[in-house]
Amino acid sequence: MEGIGLIHYLTLSAVVFCIGVFGMLTRRNAIGVLMSIELMFNAVNITLVAFARYVTPATITGQVVAIFTIAVAAAEATVALAIVLLIYQHHRGIDVDRINFMKW
Amino acid sequence: MDTISLAFYALAFLIIAAAIFVVTSKNIFHSAIYLILALFGVAGVYVLLQAPFLAAAQVLMYVGAVSMLMIFAIMLTARIADQTIRHTNEQVLTGLLLSLGLLAVIVYSLWQTPFAISSDPMPEGAGGTLGKLLLTQFALPFEIVSVLLLGALIGAVVIAKKDSVRRDPEAPTTPLPKSIEKVAG
């Protein structure tokens, strides 16, 4: 085995992504779900940067896409946390299993 | 084992351990702290992948801004009882099976795929190249992202504004802690 290659980074990314999926499916706290989603964003970013390093090193397009991902993730986190705060004020709790007031 | 391999395995161990604590920790505040640790590890991986600008952006955006936002939201919403109530739902077994299955599928297909690995050198001064790309080839997405960020800013203010709160009359009427009452009005 000759050093660390693309496959190692992709495997790390897959593991982190699946941990994020597990957290997203099992957390009851809405903020916990959001944190799992941030983990998944980071796993995808590792994939993008690894491809930029090993597959297209001359044009570092993957890094540009990773920058856009970071910006969109920040926007997502801002709006999602505002919604969580609103739900907490409205509902006295942020248990995602009990937030069903849009269902009638 | 050379230095790069050693650094990679140390960072991978750090990230995976911290990520597992993020999703399993009973106390949501500890989850946030472990999330910061995992995000730092990802910044280290960016350094290993010769993306120093992204590593800096990661520390600024995630470790600095997003994590602070998370902790802010936790402090505004968490109650003292949070540490003792159940923190997972009934889907633990399903979720575990699903995520392990997904992992198996992804890793299997990764190791089966022949990637077109190129041995071209990375451009000198990757940060400058990145800036040029952003303002030439990717100028339109760049502008759209700035509009998106502005929209998110306005949206967050409008959503979290005090006046938009309509109390649900059927919601349990436990009094808010003092610190929250001040903010919620």
Domain definitions of chain B by residue range: 1-82, 125-163+176-185
Chain A, 34-93: which have a CB under 8 Å from a chain B CB? 34-36, 38-39, 42, 45-46, 49-50, 52-61, 63-64, 66-68, 70-79, 81-86, 88-92
CA distance A38 to chain B (A): 9
CA angle B28, A35, B46 (to 5 degrees): 125
Give contacts of B53 with chain A, Cβ < 8 Å.
63
HSE on the CB side for A7, CA within 13 Å?
13
Distance CA B89, CA A97 (A): 8
Q: Answer whether B27 touches A (CB < 8 Å).
A: no
When computed from its CA atoms, the radius of gyration of chain B, rounded to whole angstroms, is 22
Quick one: CATH architecture of B1-82?
Answer: Up-down Bundle (1.20)
What pLDDT does A1 receive? 47
HSE on the CB side for B75, CA within 13 Å?
8
Domain definitions of chain A by residue range: 6-91
What pLDDT does B183 receive? 52
What pLDDT does A100 receive? 75
pLDDT tens digits along A51-102: 988 888 888 888 899 999 999 999 999 999 888 888 888 777 777 777 777 7
Q: What is the pLDDT along chain B (185 residues), one digit of tens a residue?
A: 688 889 999 999 999 999 999 998 888 888 999 999 999 999 999 999 888 889 999 999 888 888 888 888 888 876 644 555 666 777 888 889 999 999 999 999 988 888 888 777 777 777 788 888 888 989 999 999 999 999 999 998 888 776 655 555 565 555 555 555 555 54
Q: Answer whether B174 touches A (CB < 8 Å).
A: yes
- How large a percentage of chain B has pLDDT more than 90? 37
pLDDT tens digits along A20-30: 999 999 988 88
Placement of tokens 């203010």 in the chain: B157
ipTM, interface predicted TM-score of the complex: 0.90
Three-state secondary structure of B59-120: HHHHHHHHHHHHHHHHHHHCCHHHHCCCCECCCHHHHHHHHHHHHHHHHHHHHHCCCCCCCC
Q: Select the residue of B22, B123, B165 nearest A39 (Cβ to Cβ).
A: B22
Q: Answer whether B115 touches A (CB < 8 Å).
A: yes
Confidence of residue A40 (pLDDT cuts 50, 70, 90): very high
Chain B, 69-108: which have a CB under 8 Å from a chain A CB? 69-70, 72-74, 76-77, 82, 86-89, 91-92, 94-96, 98-100, 102-103, 106-107
What pLDDT does B81 receive? 47
CATH code matching the domain that covers A6-91, chosen among 3.40.50.720, 1.10.287.3510, 3.40.50.150, 3.40.50.410:
1.10.287.3510
